[in-house]
Structure 1
Amino acid sequence: MDLKWLLLSFDGRIGRKQFWLWNISYYLFLSMLGSALAQMSPTVALYAVPCMSLILLYPDLAVTAKRWHDRNKSNRFLLLNIPLIVGRLLLPVSAQAETAEGLSRLFSLIALACGLWILVECGFLKGSQGDNSYGEAFKN
C-alpha cells in the first residue's frame, strides 16, 4: 500500500484493518507525546498535543474519507468530525478557563454522538461488497 496515497489522498477505499491501524497509531502517538511532554511541563503538553492533532488533521481526514467510501458514503460524512476536531483544539482553553457548564455538556454530548457514529460505521461495519461509486473493492 502506498503511504502517500493513504495519508494524502481523499480518493479510493480502505478496509477496517487499515482504518484501525491508523487510528491506533494516531492516538498512541498523541498519548505518548502528551505523557512525555507532561513530564517536562504540563503547560507545554496542553498546547503541543492540540497543535500536533492539527498537523495530523489532513491525514486523519484522508484515512477516514477512504473508509466512508468503502461504506459507499460520501466525504460529507467527514462533517461528523467537526465536534471532535473543535474539542481537541479547544482543550487548552477549556482546561484553563471557566466555561458555561450547560453549553460545555451539550457540546460534549454532540461530540460523543458523532464519535460513536464514526466508530461504529468506520470501525465495525463491513464495507460495501464489490466495486462501488468510489472505486474497486479493497483487497488486503
Structure 2
Amino acid sequence: MARKTSHFIDGLFGFDGRFRRSEYWIASIGLGIVRLVTLGVSAAVLGMGFVQASNVFPLRVGLDLVFLWPYAAIAIKRGHDRNRSARYTSVLLVLLYGLAWIGSWLLHAGDATLGALLGLVMLPLALYMLIDYGFIDGTKGPNRYGASDKYPETDGRRLVLDEPTLSSEPPKA
C-alpha cells in the first residue's frame, strides 16, 4: 500500500513514468474535487457565492496556476502511457490553458462573442485529449517511459510464457 501511495503522490508532482487510465481518472477527479473545495473556501472567505467567486478572474487564474503543476504531471504521465512525449502533451496543455485564459479574460472584459469563439476553437482539442488520454488504453508492454503495470508479462507484441516441456512423465499433483 505504501508503494502505491508513494507512486500516486509522485504522480501528482513528478513527470517520470506512466499513469494507467484508472490512475489518470482517479487523480484528475480527486484534484478537481480539491480545486472545487478550494474555490468554495475562497468564496466563503470572500463572502461570495460559489458561482460569483468562480467568475472572479484573478481567483480563477490563481487557482489555475496553483493546480497547473499537478494537472500537467498527471497529463504527462498519462501521455507517457500512450507513448506520447512530455513535449507533445505540454504543447496540448499550453494551447488548452492559453485559449481558456484568453477566452476567460475576453468574457471578463465583456467580449462574449470572441470568448465563445475561442471556446469553440478549444472544443476539438479538449475532445481529442479526453478521448486519447482518457479512454484509449495505454501502450501494451514496456515503452520508452517504462514498463506497463497493466501488461507486465508482454513485450508489446505477444505474451511471454514459459516454454512448455514435453515429458513422458505424468504431471505431478
Q: Shorter-chain-normalised TM-score: which range?
A: 0.7 to 0.9
Instruction: Describe the shift of the 1:50–1:26 C-alpha distance in structure 2 as closer, same or farther (beyond 3 A).
Output: farther
Instruction: Describe the shift of the 1:44–1:14 C-alpha distance in structure 2 as closer, same or farther (beyond 3 A).
Output: closer
Output the TM-score relative to the length of structure 2. Answer: 0.68
Instruction: Describe the shift of the 1:10–1:139 C-alpha distance in structure 2 as closer, same or farther (beyond 3 A).
Output: same
**Counterpart-to-counterpart distance in 1, 2:53 and 2:21:** 36
Higher relative contact order structure (alpha carbons within 8 Å, sequence separation ≥ 6)? 1
Specify which of 130, 136, 143 is matched with residue 119 of structure 1: 130
Instruction: Describe the shift of the 1:83–1:107 C-alpha distance in structure 2 as closer, same or farther (beyond 3 A).
Output: farther
% identity of equivalent residues: 27
Report the equivalent of 2:160: none
Report the equivalent of 1:84: 96
Report the equivalent of 2:140: 129
Report the equivalent of 2:67: 56
Matched residue pairs, number? 139
Q: Greater CA radius of gyration, 1 or 2?
A: 2
Instruction: Describe the shift of the 1:104–1:48 C-alpha distance in structure 2 as closer, same or farther (beyond 3 A).
Output: closer
Residue 114 of structure 1 deviates from its aligned partner by: 1.4
Range with bigger deviation, 121-130 or 47-56: 47-56
Range with bigger deviation, 41-50 or 79-88: 41-50
Specify which of 22, 26, 40 is matched with residue 17 of structure 1: 22
Residue 136 of structure 1 deviates from its aligned partner by: 0.8
Does the 8 A contact of 1:34 with 1:45 survive in 2? Answer: no
Does the 8 A contact of 2:79 with 2:133 survive in 1? Answer: yes
Does the 8 A contact of 2:28 with 2:74 survive in 1? Answer: no
Compare the two structures and name the one with the higher helix fraction.
1
Residue 85 of structure 1 deviates from its aligned partner by: 1.4
Does the 8 A contact of 1:81 with 1:115 survive in 2? Answer: no
Residue 122 of structure 1 deviates from its aligned partner by: 1.1
Query: How big is the alpha-carbon RMSD for the aligned residues of Structure 1 and Structure 2?
Result: 2.6
Which ranges of structure 2 fall in alignment gaps of 5 or more residues? 152-173
Output the TM-score relative to the length of structure 1. Answer: 0.81
Q: Secondary structure at the match of 1:126?
A: coil
Which ranges of structure 1 fall in alignment gaps of 5 or more residues? none
Range with bigger deviation, 21-30 or 128-137: 21-30
Q: Secondary structure at the match of 1:113?
A: helix
